[in-house]
Amino acid sequence: MMCRIVYRVVTSLLIAVFVTIPVVAQDLARTPSGQPDLQGVWDFRTITPMERPEELADKPFLTAEEAAEIENIRALQDAGRDDEVPADIVGNYNTFWFDRGTSVIGTMRTSLVVDPPNGRIPALTPGAERARVAMNEARQDTGPHEPTPGGWVDDLGPNGLQVRCVTGFNSGPPMTPGGYNNNVQIFQTADTIVLYNEMNHNPRVVPLDGRPHTQLRQWTGESRGYWDGDTLVVETKNFLRETSFMRGGASAELEVTERFTRVSAEGLLYSVTVNDPLTWTQPWTYEVPMVANPDPIYEYACHEGNYSMEVILAGAREKEASERSR
């Protein structure tokens, strides 16, 4: 626990100086091929919300005092939860398993969304709005990890892809800060980038050799990358169907442009432009400052539908029976 506390404190300090110590181009660590070295494990935890809260409508940035107050409130909330008795509910997580972060992003923005300038996700298209209303009606009184009544394969529900271990809820593309597993490891050669997400041990291989997109649709889309100066640009499209992004809110026509820019020895700026004309009325962009994580990524085990629970309980009952027979 002490190691976790120390790491969080160090991470908070690194985030605080994220935009204050930029690295000029000639100081960037580079690979033998001359490109900026993006390799390593990068942490994208933050308590900054995706959208700007309505009460901060005209305030794009926090003051240092406001940021400290928000972080203090989160610390008090987390400390209070440590004393709570965990609820005896199947599928419930207690606070120990969450790792949402303890700090706002170093830019002090009030939202991760930077475009539109109001920090809010654009309105849904009429078709997407109708689909969302229909989904909410169909899923009334249905738990977030349960399939929509009448369909498990055809309609997985808002959390279906991650419950079925198809994709992770924050690994994307695009990546978004979530409840836990907020790390990505980057591997890099002259002609290939691999984005290995901690969530759902999801590796995404990104060719950099100029090959075009094909028409092969995949769960995580089809990614192609190139260098724009010292920024790595990754364009992804050809999704199989809805993704886990925005809890299944995007369509198969989603197109994502990710930009990775090394801004300091300990900082990587991750910028994402989302374009899905079937879902939102205009493209929108969000940014997440990532921080170097000195720890390795460990393998993530995903139990589809938590079917392993039956085996766990069966083992416990067998152990109890064995002890009674002694």
- Which residue is listed with tokens 């079937």? 278
- Give per-residue pLDDT as tens, 307-326: 556 666 777 788 888 888 87
Least confident of 13-27, 91-105, 148-162: 13-27
pLDDT, average across residues 225-231: 98
Residue 167 pLDDT: 81
Look at residue 129 and tell me whether its pLDDT is greater than 90.
Answer: yes
pLDDT of residue 183: 96
Q: Which neighbouring-strand residues pair with 154?
A: none
pLDDT at 273 over 60: yes
Helices (H) and strands (E) in the chain, counts: 5, 10
Helices (H), the chain: 2-16, 64-81, 126-138, 160-163, 308-324
Average pLDDT, rounded, for the chain: 83
Distance CA 280, CA 123 (A): 6
Cα separation of 142 and 138, whole Å? 9
219: Cβ contacts below 8 Å, ≥ 6 apart? 161, 166, 167, 239, 240, 241, 243
Looking up tokens 């997109």 gives 213
Structure tokens at 168: 């992770």
Query: Does residue 265 register a pLDDT over 50?
Result: yes
pLDDT at residue 3 in the model: 38
> What does the pLDDT read at residue 88?
46
User: How many C-alpha atoms does 18 have within 13 Å on its Cβ side?
Assistant: 26
Q: Are 3 and 91 in contact (CB under 8 A)?
A: no
Helix (H) or strand (E) holding 268: strand 267-275
Q: What is the pLDDT of residues 202-213, one digit of tens each?
A: 899 999 999 999
Give the largest CA-CA distance in the chain. 72
The region of weakest confidence among 185-199, 219-233, 309-323 is 309-323
User: What is the per-residue pLDDT for 4?
Assistant: 37
- Residue 317's CB is within 10 A of a number of other CB atoms, namely 10
Over residues 56-112, the pLDDT tens digits come to 988 999 999 999 999 999 888 877 665 555 554 444 566 777 888 899 999 999 999
Contact 147, 160 (CB under 8 A): yes
Cross-strand partners of 183? 43
Q: How confident is the model at residue 31 (pLDDT cuts 50, 70, 90)?
A: very high
Give the integer Cα–Cα distance in Å for 165 and 167: 6
